[in-house]
A and B are shown apart, each in its own frame.
Chain A
Amino acid sequence: AQTVTQSQPEMSVQEAETVTLSCTYDTSESNYYLFWYKQPPSRQMILVIRQEAYKQQNATENRFSVNFQKAAKSFSLKISDSQLGDTAMYFCAFIVSGTYKYIFGTGTRLKVLA
């Protein structure tokens, strides 16, 4: 069975600093997709970034980038120049290509300090 592990329940970072959220997963499949979602206090689920496992290049979206290490089954999220609006719960998620079941991690609560 596939699993997603986020080992940091809570983190904090100073405004304008860089922070990295970790995510590891377990699967025997080779084709899959990985996602980071942001859930601010408004509780909306917002897609931050996604990565296709067959792509070696790490995905980036403005201040957000990932470090995808397929062999290590690691998918960390780096937030550069942290802003107060980045304060949220962040979820890592996974789905095997060609299937319909998503697996989410337990989340990391990030607080950006002024």
Chain B
Amino acid sequence: EAQVTQNPRYLITVTGKKLTVTCSQNMNHEYMSWYRQDPGLGLRQIYYSMNVEVTDKGDVPEGYKVSRKEKRNFPLILESPSPNQTSLYFCASRRSTGVGGNQPQHFGDGTRLSIL
């Protein structure tokens, strides 16, 4: 089954304790992206990756890191989490980096992150 898998689905942690949210897709998609969803703000793009070893900032990259060492994986790293990073996070992937947008994004089921 074609899917984007995020782990964990829920996490409660404390300020300053490094954490990683994993994202894996089995569709051989070149493009992957991370979003955060906050009430009243919709989804905002954190980082995206056009292919292996190629990443770029979205609209809200501060406090986050990403890496794309393999095509299928795109982890989101919070090296020193703070309460303002409490949010619902989504990973997404899409076929083709050629013409932007003509292929639909496939989303993971989301990660609810609470930082105390």
Q: Which A residues are closer than 8 A to B by beta carbons?
A: 4, 6, 9, 32-33, 35, 43-45, 47, 50, 52, 91, 93, 95-107
Contacts and interface: CB of A to CB of B under 8 A. Distances in A.
Nearest to A100: B48
Assign chain B's interface to a size class: 20 to 34
Given A100-B48, A101-B58, A104-B43, A43 B110 contact: yes
Nearest to B43: A104
Contact of B42 (A52, A95, A98, A106): A106
A100 B109 contact: no
Contacts of B101: 32-33, 95-97, 99
A44 B102 contact: no
A101 B46 CA distance: 10
Contacts of A9: 40
Contact of A107 (B42, B88, B110): B42
